[in-house]
Chains A and B, each alone.
Chain A
Amino acid sequence: MISAIVRTAITGLRRDRAALALSFVLPVAFFSIFAMVFGGEHDTIPQVHLIVVDQDQSIASRELIRALEREGSLLVSTHPEASRNQPAPPDYTARSAEEAVKRGDAPVALIVPAGWGAHPMAFGPDEQQAPKIELLSDQSDPIAPQIVNGMLQKAAMMAMPASMAAEGMQYTQKYLGTFTPEQRQNWQKSLNYLEQLQKDRANKPEAQASSSSGFGSGGIIAVDTRAVVGEHQNKSLISFYAAAIGVMFLLFTASGSSGSLLDEAESGTLDRVLSSRVTMTKLLAGKLAFNTMLAFVQLVVMFLWGWALFHLEFFGHIPGFIVMGLCTAFAVAAFGMPLASLCRTRGQLGAMSTLLILVMSAVGGSMFPRFMMPAAMQKAGLFTINAWAIDGFTKVFWRDLPLISLWPQVSVLLAIGLAMFVAARRIARRWEFS
């Protein structure tokens, strides 16, 4: 008897493709995504994008920058990316580097000030007055500054032995007394060797980047860390999570709401509506308008909740919120429509939308920030509504950027919404006539 029940259940499951997909495809997809993000695959470790400004132009500063460039976990830029077939733009200045961090082009920038090379190592009490490297950071990515600081200290240790030795000799003479000629000769011999070693390493095309551990801000290279984005925001990531979680649930709501098409088709109401003066285009446009309004109101509620309970600075960002909120709501509302038009039953729609939304949310940054992901996954995230919406809201609430800076996000979200609507209209032809 029990075997008969099991057999019936297996047959039922085999026929229910939606349940099969939810049972097997979704767990495997999620496992893969989490494994890629947190699994420590070395060839896919996320690189930290680092902007470097060398105001010093000394041998030591050059060596330091070369050493940083050799680190596999850092993607070092000294100038903005050139457009296709265009000459390389001028190097970053301290100001343009700070602007770039504020814009979100990179989470960290290093400014090596003029005169730093004369005393690169932070030994002794007098070095408080020596020029220090400035590390500009974006607080929305709390990991990147730590990595860069650690890499900086490691680079000093590994790449600049001669500089360290020379600096050490000066301090020894300064605080312990002058060396004898013999001591000086021996010291010079060792120094020559270290200088040669330093040069050899600098000329190596591919230095092996070993795993690094940070020395902290109190390392042998003195660093002044300054947050240029989010330094005054005590509730730092509330807006990020409001957008990230909001978009994910908006997608669920919108796909559920689009399912009313299936209900109406099943009950015969769709037939009746289409026999009136309402055309399929008008019907879909009406549904899209409703779903957009619903999604926008959901976002308003979410952000107001964030303002009331978590001190999110909502009322200072109303114009940006309206622009991003409407574009996100439009894209999300349109997302459910081709799915509903494609599916035959509510069950199919539920399974397909759950699968897509969870994968999109994972890859698009709704579950964990995209900067934690490998580069390939970060790029894949750009195919999701989540990533563009979160980027836009971050620009508004985190970076305080002007409305004009939202054009890439606005364009992409509107284009996604439009493409989804056109796709839904084409697929919905099956309901028009038989």
Chain B
Amino acid sequence: MATAVSAAAAVCAPPVEVEGFVKRFGAHAAVNGVSLSLRAGECLGLLGPNGAGKTTLIRGIVGRVLPNAGSICIFGANAGTHAARKALGWVPQELAIYPRLTCRENLMAFGRYQGLSGKELDNHAAWCLEWAALADRAGEPTQQLSGGMKRRLNMAAGIIHHPSVVLMDEPTVGVDLQSRIRIFEMIETLREQGASILYTTHYMEEAERLCNRIAVIDHGRIIAEGAHEELVRSAFGNSTQVVARFSGPAEGLAAWVAARGGTLNDGVAHFTLQQPAEIAALLDSAAATGFEPADVSLRRPNLESVFLHLTGRELRD
């Protein structure tokens, strides 16, 4: 990735600048006035549940979705233009590779589509195979690879031309823990080499581990944006969260939880306490109302909590 930052990156414009992006499919607004900016060298996480508009936004940046309103620029060039395409690498959520071609043949094919040829193409393909830990499987047809290997090859095909900006649309979907860790390492390598990354996920652990900044998206809108700690602090301050499951008459539980300022989701109550010591009073109140605590835990609020706090729903709803 020595050539990761192209000439376009020298321009002062940010790698990705989205302004008031709106995309409607019929009456449904998949993305509804999103504005965000990806800064040079950072990894921006786009965190949201399925159907929040993440993929539509990414496809808009790639130039595959035409906006109904707003603008998207890549290093100052409009999305979809030649300069924008050259600067972008896209790892789609689907396994967009040729199943009958080998790993190397896939990389060579996508490299040619990006305008690479000759020695440069060979070098890029070799680098990508190493990066994806697929060098020893280079000659194997893709359809014979495991799910995790296919995911890694899918990522490698997206950055074969060593782009300055990499868009990753849920690259860990459907892979096991081991493969996921390998993918994290690949992304961290890219970050170390200076690539700017926009990373969509609905796994808050991924966003917390990989991203400098996180934009929370729901129903096509960005509802919060900032570093992980900033998001938690702005939503909860220094408070502590109690997550509890109660046994007892279900009818009155929701009313009691609401009266204590908590939320109830799938029978699990969430409370935010300013001081950990407040938990004693909370449990006393539960016992007095006829609810026995079956399972109680204390935790620092996280992105999941932030999402629940902002939307009243869990991230994986």
Contact = CB atoms under 8 A, between A and B. Distances in A.
19 contacts: A267-B95, A267-B97, A267-B99, A268-B92, A268-B93, A269-B96, A271-B64, A271-B96, A272-B90, A273-B110, A275-B85, A275-B90, A277-B86, A277-B113, A277-B115, A433-B65, A434-B25, A434-B65, A434-B66
Contacts of A275: 62-64, 85, 88, 90
Nearest to B167: A275
Interface string B80-106: 001001101010111111110000000
B95 A277 contact: no
B92 A434 contact: no
B157 A277 contact: no
A278 interface: yes
Interface in A245-274: 267-269, 271-274
B114 interface: yes
A267 B94 contact: yes
A77 B62 CA distance: 67
Interface of B: 25, 59, 62-66, 82, 85-86, 88, 90, 92-99, 110, 113-115, 157-158
Contacts, number: 52
Contacts of A272: 90, 92, 96, 110, 157-158
The 9 closest A-B pairs by CB, nearest first: A268-B94, A268-B96, A276-B113, A272-B96, A269-B96, A275-B62, A433-B66, A278-B113, A268-B92
Contact of A433 (B64, B88, B97, B158): B64
Nearest to B109: A273
B78 to A, nearest CB: 13
A272 B115 CA distance: 14
A103 to B, nearest CB: 48
Nearest to A269: B96
Contacts of B96: 267-269, 271-272
Nearest to B161: A276
B174 to A, nearest CB: 14
Given A271-B64, A271-B92, 11 more contacts: A267-B95, A271-B59, A272-B90, A272-B92, A275-B88, A276-B85, A277-B113, A277-B114, A433-B64, A434-B59, A434-B65
A273 B109 CA distance: 10
* Most chain B C-beta atoms within 10 Å of own C-beta, residue among A273, A276, A277, A278: A276
Contacts of B88: 275
Contact of A273 (B59, B113, B115): B113
Nearest to A270: B96
A285 to B, nearest CB: 14
Nearest to A282: B113
Interface in A74-131: none
Interface residues of A, number: 13
Contact of A277 (B82, B93, B97, B98): B82
A148 B93 CA distance: 71
Given A275-B90, A277-B114, A269 B97 contact: yes
Contacts of B59: 271, 434
A271 B92 CA distance: 9
Contact of B64 (A267, A274, A277, A278): A274
A268 B66 CA distance: 18
Given A267-B95, A271-B64, A271-B96, A276 B82 contact: no
B10 to A, nearest CB: 21
A305 to B, nearest CB: 27
A271 B64 CA distance: 7
A274 B82 CA distance: 11
Nearest to B23: A434
B92 to A, nearest CB: 5
A268 to B, nearest CB: 3
A22 to B, nearest CB: 27
Nearest to B111: A276
* Most chain B C-beta atoms within 10 Å of own C-beta, residue among A267, A269, A274: A269
A271 B94 CA distance: 10
Nearest to A272: B96
Contacts of A267: 94-97, 99
B64 A276 contact: no
A433 B56 CA distance: 12
Contacts of A276: 85, 110, 113-114
Contact of A434 (B64, B85, B99, B110): B64
A275 B90 CA distance: 8
A121 B62 CA distance: 87
A37 to B, nearest CB: 42
Given A275-B88, A277-B86, A277-B114, A268 B95 contact: yes
B94 to A, nearest CB: 3
Contact of B98 (A269, A274, A433, A434): A269
A274 B113 CA distance: 9
Interface in A276-299: 276-278
A271 B97 CA distance: 11
Contacts of B95: 267-268
Interface string A422-433: 000000000001
A274 B90 CA distance: 11
Contacts of A268: 92-96
B110 A277 contact: no
B92 A277 contact: no
Contacts of B64: 271, 274-275, 433-434
B143 to A, nearest CB: 11
Nearest to A268: B94
Nearest to A275: B62
* Most chain A C-beta atoms within 10 Å of own C-beta, residue among B62, B96, B99, B158: B96
A434 B95 CA distance: 20
B111 to A, nearest CB: 9
A278 to B, nearest CB: 5
Nearest to A277: B115
Nearest to B25: A434
Contacts of A273: 110, 113
Contacts of A269: 96-98
A272 B95 CA distance: 10
B271 to A, nearest CB: 43
A272 B114 CA distance: 11
Contacts of A433: 64-66
